[in-house]
Amino acid sequence: MPKQLEPIAVPIPRLETERLILREWRHEDLEPYARFVADPEAMRFLGGETRDRAGAWREMATLIGHWAMRGHGFWAVEEKAGGEFVGRVGIWEPEGWHATEVGWSIMPAHHRKGFATEAGRAAAAWAFETLGLDSIISLIAPENVASIGVAKKLGESHCGETKIGEFDVHIYKVAREDFISG
């Protein structure tokens, strides 16, 4: 059996909001993340396809690798009260992407608590301050009313349509000076 190596740390800043911690990904996140990506309701607006445990692991590795390659990415989000994993939120810009995006995916058990807005606001503020962006976008399925509401709370407005693969999405965008940070 091959020797188990210690993971190499990828520097991921830690952000705290009133109720949440946006932090680095940990091995113990695999269990709740695997449940998340196996849930059809959770994946409905994320391409629609569920993933098995191995797929969850590969996706977590991609999210961590994005930090190493871009200097930003998705954080694992946990609730301060109790430390429960509640989803992922962050800044996304894989190769060929439309622009730098702020995105959020909260586990269905934690919907309607304002976590996406709270964490999305922290992530966008970090992106504007740290990356010096002039604007940021969110790509949202037109029927994803909850995420459209989050985008609007961040000051984003609809500015066009595009496709991600075969899926139609709306582009929401906010300029730095129009961002609602509080």
Q: Could you report the average pLDDT of every consecutive run of 10 residues in the chain (182 residues)?
A: 64 95 96 95 85 95 94 97 96 93 95 96 96 96 96 97 91 93 64
Amino acid at 131: L
Q: What are the beta bridge partners of residue 23?
A: 76
**Which pLDDT does position 15 carry in this prediction?**
98
CATH match of 15-178 with 3.40.630.30: yes
The CB density around residue 135, as the number of other CB atoms within 10 Å, is 16
pLDDT for 166 equals: 86
For the chain, how far is it from start to end, CA to CA, in angstroms?
A: 52
Domain ranges of the chain: 15-178
Q: What is the pTM of this model?
A: 0.92
Category of 96 on φ-ψ map: left (φ > 0), alpha (ψ -120 to 50) or beta: left
- pLDDT recorded at residue 182: 61
Predicted pLDDT at 4: 64
Q: 53: how many CB neighbours lie within 10 A of its CB?
A: 14
pLDDT value of residue 2:
63
